[in-house]
Amino acid sequence: MGRKIHTVSINFTGGIISPGYLQELLRIAAAAGVSAVRFGLRQQLLIDVPVQYFKQFSTDCRQQKINFYEPEVCPNITSSYPAAGIFITDSWLSEGVYKDVFDLFDYTPALKVNICDSQQTFVPFFTGHINWITSEHAHYWRLFVRFPGTDKLLAWPDLVYTNDIGRVSQTIETLLQKGYAGPDNLHAQTAARISYMGRPISHELELPSFHLPYYEGFNRYNNGYWLGIYRRDEFYPLEFLQDVCAICLETRTGQLYATPWKTIIIKSIDPAHRSLWDYTLGKFRINVRHAANELNWQVEENSEDGLVLKRHIIRHFDIADVRTYGLCFNVRLEHTTGQFGSVVIRKQENKHGSKLKYMQRYDILYTQGFNPNSATLLLFREQVAKEHLGPYLVSLCKEFYEKASETNTLQDFVSSRQALIPVKPPERTVHQCRQCLSVYDETLGETAQGITPGTSFNALPASFGCPLCGAAAAEFEEVSESALGV
């Protein structure tokens, strides 16, 4: 029988982690018999505290003013802040603006709030209930409300100014929790309670094409490196994270970042300090070069069955040598809403009451356009046994690339390049006298003989003669201007 645990969530607003704060938290966790911790889909820390030490853990946290919550009771504010500077390089949403937005939340949200840059695809847009996405206008935001327990999205009819994000979010949360407003009147009810600065929306949000950047390992960043760390079993040894905090504090690396992929990122690593990170990764045997087809998965929190299913499918992908770039896979065993993925493996309800796992069946679905931020799910196959999931998913991957290849990108590129090549205009010609080499230019005519400019050579009157030697028109020949050296 496994030991009894009490799982708690520690929120890091926007995924930003102070090394000193985390170090103190890890010290408290270690004293409570914890040996490893996990990061969640909402960029929070999940700690499984043994029941016999939970009272001590609670007391120590309270003394250090560390707040913890039951998972899902107080969801973390999720943001694309970890991607700033490494996956997002040209945006008005700077790191300073992120922090200003976080400071506007002077209350603890009970609903899920997402703060995202519209140019990135690293952090899901709509997994929150209150989803803020940057617009093309600096300091104005689009808002999408996903009603709790559903995937129904309400697009706010106007843009909201940065300084009003906190008040609007709190008002919407109050209205939804008390049942005062629904999809038809939420905006009107909010506007009736508070005033905020807004501006009209000129066009609908265009979802960027999904491409998950490779977020693991050492990568060049400005004059240094950033490091991404992923764990196959989702558990991070406590001692390893303690060393990570120690290196950050010693090298004055101010922040760590938790991501929605249950990973951590460390930015601004000085090349002179890379040996410290190499030593620590080696000391704890931390692998930082996993295959890309393993990194593009979203599995529910605390779901060992979900991880088993993921590993089973990845093994098949490896054998089939299948490409999955541009796709994101989501395993849904318990929850059915607020998930992120362009391909969804969803467990069917067990209608027969059998506990035998080989009897379990799954549905395979995919989002419209294979964009994981889309809320529209389309059925690909249903009632699929576990051993058949791999072949069907390989087939779906093939369909994805076939659709992507319908537009001949190479031909479009060649055509666009050819369109940029300037077309040389046809060379202009004139008529030259064979006797004296005098020239008749149609654009000038011959005013001394009453021939107006624009008169073509073929329209010259019979009386025309060379103005220099008097030769008739028959003595003239057509020549190009370039041959004359003009």
Interval 140-159: pLDDT, tens = 999 999 999 888 899 999 99
Third-level CATH fold of 301-404? Sulfite Reductase Hemoprotein; domain 1 (3.30.413)
Please give the C-alpha separations between residue 25 and each of 29, 39, 48, 329, 399, in angstroms, as whole numbers: 6, 14, 13, 32, 47
Interval 19-36: pLDDT, tens = 999 999 999 999 999 999
Per-residue pLDDT of the chain (486 residues; tens, 9 = 90+): 456 999 999 999 999 999 999 999 999 999 999 999 999 999 999 999 999 999 999 999 999 999 999 888 899 999 999 999 999 988 999 999 999 999 999 999 999 999 999 999 999 999 999 999 999 999 999 999 999 988 889 999 999 999 999 999 999 999 999 888 888 899 999 999 999 999 999 999 999 999 999 999 999 988 899 999 999 999 999 999 999 999 999 999 888 999 999 999 999 999 999 999 999 999 999 999 999 999 999 999 999 999 999 999 999 999 999 999 999 999 999 877 888 999 999 999 876 555 666 789 999 999 999 999 998 899 999 999 999 999 999 999 999 999 877 666 666 677 666 667 776 777 888 899 888 888 888 888 888 888 888 899 988 988 899 888 888 888 989 998 877 765
DSSP 73: T
5-75+213-290 and 301-404, same CATH topology: no
Nearest to 43 by CA among 100, 122, 134, 107: 122
Please give the C-alpha separations between residue 483 and each of 376, 471, 486, in angstroms, as whole numbers: 67, 21, 8
Domain extents in the chain: 5-75+213-290, 88-200, 301-404, 429-484
CATH number of 429-484: 2.20.28.10
Output the CA angle 448-451-455, nearest 5 degrees: 145
Cα–Cα distance for residue pair 390/426, rounded to 1 Å: 61
Cα–Cα distance for residue pair 39/301, rounded to 1 Å: 9
Given the candidates 3.40.50.970, 3.40.120.10, 3.30.360.10, 3.90.480.10, the CATH classification of the domain at 5-75+213-290 is 3.90.480.10
